[in-house]
Structure 1
Amino acid sequence: MYVLIVYDVNVKRVNNVKKFLRQHLHWVQNSVFEGEITKAEFERIKATLRELIDEDEDSVVIYRFRSMPAREVIGVEKNPMGDVI
């Protein structure tokens, strides 16, 4: 599955969330990651994010797609993905 994860996390936790997501997904912009993952990876990512954030204060939104969605960038791409397979 292809996922897009967007988060708004307190500054005290933001580096831990970013560091964790960089291990699994492609960084697109500040607080935005995307990539192709397995169902098992998806469950692991969700479980770890629950441990890293404060659910009473932080927000993580996960979009799931069956395949990579069409993508268009207007302006400067922060972290070019190139040809992702």
Structure 2
Amino acid sequence: MENWSENHNDFIDYERDEKNKKIHILIIYDISENKTRTKLVKFLLGYGYRVQKSAFEAIVTKSQLKKIIKNISNYLDEENDSIRIYRMYYDDVIIFGKNFSIEDEEIIII
């Protein structure tokens, strides 16, 4: 697997984020093992909110995003699992049904 933290700085440093220094991301996953999936959920709860069964949204700093990218492979069996991180702009999201509001707030990781 390629090293995302070194090879995808353009993903982290995209110019549209320079105004507010925060990046809105969507992380979706398909993890086959229950134990691994539970660990991934606990990890992601330190950064954002679970908006669907296999989806998290978060508003993070560049350093937090780098940390997520660096550590996310610890929760992945490359043969069977999939994790995707999408950059989003909240004003570009259309929501149908139950709305889970994401706020820009400080989250303390313990």
Structure 1 residue 4 corresponds to structure 2 residue 23: no
Q: How high is the TM-score relative to the length of structure 1?
A: 0.80
Offset, 1:27: 0.9
SS at match of 1:40: helix
Number of aligned pairs?
A: 80
Which structure has more relative contact order (CA 8 Å, sep 6+)? It is: 1
**Amino-acid identity (%):** 30
Unmatched segments (≥5 aa) in structure 2: 1-22, 105-110
For the aligned residues, what is the CA RMSD? 1.8
Q: Which residue matches 1:44?
A: 67
- The structure carrying a bigger helix percent of its residues is 2
Hey, which bits of structure 1, 4+ residues long, moved more than 3 A? none
Unmatched runs of 5 consecutive residues or more in structure 1: none
> 1:84 Cα deviation (Å)?
2.0
Whole-Å separation in 1 of the counterparts to 2:55 and 2:71: 17
Question: 1:26: how far off?
Answer: 1.1
Q: Rg: which structure is higher?
A: 2
TM superposition shift of 1:72: 1.1
Structure 2: which amino acid aligns with 1:84? E
Counterpart of 1:56 in 2: which secondary structure? coil
The answer to which structure has the higher strand fraction is: 1
